[in-house]
Amino acid sequence: MSAVTNQGREHATGSADAPALQSTDSALLPSARPVQLVDPDGHHTPDERYPSPSDESLLGAYGRLVAGRRINDQANALVRQGRMAVYPSSHGQEACQVAAAVVLREEDWLFPTYRDTVAVITRGVDPLEVFTLLRGDWHSGYDPYEHRVATQATPLATQLLHAVGMAHAAKLRGESTVVLAMCGDGATSEGDFHEALNFAAVFHVPVVFFVQNNEFAISVPLASQSVAPSLAHKAIGYGMPGERVDGNDLAALLAVLGSAVSRARDGGGPSLVEAHTYRMQAHTNADDATRYRSADDVDRWIPKDPLVRMRSYLSGLDLLTEDGEAALAAEADAIAAVIRKGLNTDVEINPAELFEYVYAEKTTQLREQAEQLCEELARAVEPAAAGPDSAASRTEGNQR
Ligand SMILES: Cc1ncc(C[n+]2csc(CCOP(=O)(O)OP(=O)(O)O)c2C)c(N)n1
Ligand SMILES: [Mg+2]
């Protein structure tokens, strides 16, 4: 007895006649070593399965890499200056960020995590709208539909299910949309990760799961998170291909993610790509990474920096001159200046907006909470008339 799934694989319904594995199954396994096209010294390391991206696309993506690093540096500075509440930096992971955005077409969708700000900006979202969220004064600073980028998700792995739903809908409508869903190594331990991958595989939807394995989930190292041979190996358990890639090699990322996206667009179904990279900085500004890892561990990753590597590679081919490099740095500085100016401009906050746009119609509890807050705010203002020692006049004094 056997049952046929929508992919045509036959499953035995009795253990006695369990089917033999198909000869193609081992093709679902990832490479023994992460795919690399440019080594840390900037030398080309060809891989017959993945042709190198064109010089033009590499140079274009390198410009985004320079901007991405500058955006991370600027955001960190703004946090220290108290202009932004929190920033999960992708310093050192910028090659993953840039590749995830540039392999997609306009009609595709990107589902990012909280750490993927550079990917969101590379996809075209206005940096100031992105940072509005991280400043903490709006629900989400950008319209997801404008550039087809879902809101950045803080709850781990929830976005993977949303991404699969989006891909499933696109398939039912007969659209050519591909969805790229990002998550971290820690998120692969979530039940939502399992549900998303299983659903995607069974319904054969056009989604690429992109795991940035930066070796930590806050303070938890990967070894305490998973003992799978690699995170990419998890794919075969769902019946989809998994691949591993050097997450600090922009060329390899463009090739591997580009191939996964094309496969999904051509009806090949979902796949999982694991990028091996490293979180060079603390989890966020609220974390002290020196409590759980040594400076030596971090230093070992400095020579693998994605930016330096691509610069050496492109300079070695005479594709990048000093003038070209200076022009890219100036463009990145201009983006940083816009971010700085925007975040140094004080905005009027209306606390009552907290309750708007949560539901089309407010629930009873939400209405009560909104009324309670408005009453409290009004009470804080009323005693102003009572004299110079009142709470309101003290508040006013503090704001000068
Ligand atoms: C469902 C859920 N559980 C726990 C948390 C708390 N939390 C926030 S970030 C994080 C670590 C995630 O690590 P990883 O997925 O590797 O992503 P990274 O921060 O390294 O990019 C945890 C446990 C959360 N945000 N959501
Ligand atoms: Mg991680």
pLDDT in tens, 48-64: 999 999 999 999 999 99
Looking at per-residue pLDDT, the higher value among 400 and 183 belongs to 183
Q: How far is 113 from 28, CA to CA, in rounded Å?
A: 26
Of the three residues 343, 361, 388, the one that is the final residue of a domain is 343
Judged by DSSP in three states, 344 sits in: coil
> How many A from CA of 316 to the centre of ligand 1?
39
Nearest CA to 164 out of 262, 316, 269 is that of 269
In whole angstroms, how far apart are CA 128 and each of 88, 195, 320?
16, 34, 30
pLDDT for the residue 1: 38
Do 114 and 183 fall into the same domain?
A: yes
> How many A from CA of 376 to the centre of ligand 1?
35
What is the pLDDT averaged over residues 210-217? 98
Ligand 1 atom with least separation from CA of 184: 15
Adjacent-strand bridge partners of 113 = 153
Do 106 and 157 fall into the same domain?
A: yes
Ligand 1 atom with least separation from CA of 217: 13
Q: Which CATH number does the domain housing residue 267 bear?
A: 3.40.50.970
Would you give the DSSP letter of residue 231? G
> How many A from CA of 218 to the centre of ligand 1?
7
**Among protein residues, the one whose CA lies closest to atom 26 of ligand 1:** 155
Do 71 and 182 fall into the same domain?
A: yes
What is the pLDDT averaged over residues 279-298? 96
Nearest ligand to the CA of 189 is: 1
pLDDT in tens, 219-242: 999 999 999 999 999 999 999 999
Query: What is the number of structural domains in the chain?
Result: 2
Residue 254 maps to a domain: yes
CB within 8 A of 251, min separation 6: which ones? Answer: 37, 38, 52, 53, 58, 310, 313
pLDDT for the residue 37: 98
Residue type, 129: E
Ligand 1 atom with least separation from CA of 158: 1
Q: How far is 111 from 296, CA to CA, in rounded Å?
A: 33
**How many C-beta atoms surround the C-beta of residue 284 within 10 A?**
16
pLDDT for the residue 7: 59
Do 302 and 366 fall into the same domain?
A: no
CB within 8 A of 271, min separation 6: which ones? Answer: 208, 209, 235, 240, 241, 242, 243, 260, 263, 264
> How many A from CA of 393 to the centre of ligand 1?
42
Nearest ligand to the CA of 114 is: 1
Structure tokens at 376: 């409290």
Do 160 and 45 fall into the same domain?
A: yes
pLDDT at 294 over 90: yes
CB within 8 A of 281, min separation 6: which ones? Answer: 76, 89, 91, 92, 289
Residue 71 maps to a domain: yes
pLDDT for the residue 8: 56
Assess contact for 111 and 181: CB atoms under 8 A. Answer: yes
Q: How far is 129 from 151, CA to CA, in rounded Å?
A: 11
**Among protein residues, the one whose CA lies closest to atom 7 of ligand 1:** 156
CA torsion 377-380-386-388 (nearest 10°) is -130
Structure tokens at 74: 């600027």
User: Which residue's entry shows tokens 């949560």?
Assistant: 358
Backbone angles phi, psi at 214, to 5 degrees: -100, 20
Residues belonging to the chain: 400
pLDDT for the residue 3: 42
Backbone angles phi, psi at 236, to 5 degrees: -60, -30
Catalytic residues: 279, 283, 292
Residue to probe by mutation, ligand 1, list 218, 220, 222, most atoms within 8 Å of CB: 218
Residue type, 264: A
pLDDT in tens, 65-118: 999 999 999 999 999 999 998 999 999 999 999 999 999 999 999 999 999 999
Ligand 1 atom with least separation from CA of 213: 16
> How many A from CA of 279 to the centre of ligand 1?
13
Do 377 and 260 fall into the same domain?
A: no
> Cβ-count burial of 149 within 10 angstroms (0-12 exposed, 13-18 middle, 19+ buried)?
buried
Residue 12 maps to a domain: no
For the entire predicted model, the pTM comes to: 0.90
pLDDT in tens, 9-30: 666 555 667 888 887 888 999 9
Would you give the DSSP letter of residue 88? -
- The answer to which of 28-42, 336-350, 376-390 has the lowest mean pLDDT is 376-390
pLDDT in tens, 313-356: 999 999 999 999 999 999 999 999 999 999 999 888 888 888 88
Structure tokens at 279: 């979180």
> Cβ-count burial of 172 within 10 angstroms (0-12 exposed, 13-18 middle, 19+ buried)?
exposed
Residues with CB under 6 A from ligand 1: 115, 154-156, 184-187, 214, 216-218, 279, 283
Do 66 and 133 fall into the same domain?
A: yes
Residue 7 maps to a domain: no
What residue numbers bound the domain in which 391 lies?
351-398
> How many A from CA of 190 to the centre of ligand 1?
10
